[in-house]
Amino acid sequence: IEQAGKTFSGVVEKYSKMMQINPSSISNVIMYQFIDEWYGTRYQLGGMGKRGIDCSALVQKLYSYVYGMNVLRTSLLQFRSSEFVSNIANLKEGDLVFFRIHGGPVSHVGIYLHNNYFVHASSSRGVMISKLTDAYWTKVYVGGGRLKN
């Protein structure tokens, strides 16, 4: 897989292994290239760049880069502007996943990938991939959201 003179088969291989899926399941290579470029970026509340980013800014940047969409700035506004997906089994790649960690209706957001994995800016470990079905995430999960173009 090549784009702009760069081979992305390594990116596909890396993330398909991480999510325990067949590499052919990954069709949105641009999204995984974006994730790879940001992976490990430290968390910073209100941050919007490579020196530090928060969860909702990561969603904004990914949606702008991958889908050409402008998305509202906070996790709560992102939640309110998306179509609710209550069942985890109905989530599709690119859907948002919302969590209630610090009170309020929603205080954290990530982007669903495959096989119950999602990418997000974690306050403890920065931009990373986590599993929705892990005990912690199950406990704080609010639901999914689908943004419309």
- 124: tokens are 């403890």
Is 114 designated active site?
no
Instruction: Give the pair of three-digit tokens for residue 143.
Output: 């639901």
Active-site choice (55, 71, 97, 119): 55
Angle of helix 29-38 relative to helix 55-62, nearest 10 degrees, comes to 140
Kindly name the residue from 34, 111, 120, 142 that is annotated as catalytic. 120
Our CA angle for 9, 34, 60, nearest 5°, is 155
The DSSP secondary-structure symbol of 43 reads B
102 in active site: no
- Is 120 noted as a catalytic residue in this protein? yes
Alpha helix locations (H) across the chain? 9-18, 29-38, 55-62, 75-80, 135-140
Helices (H), 41-133: 55-62, 75-80
- Alpha-carbon distances, residue 29 vs 1, 93, 133, 135 (angstroms): 8, 12, 24, 29
* Residue in 8, 54, 58, 108 annotated catalytic: 108
- Active-site residue numbers? 55, 108, 120
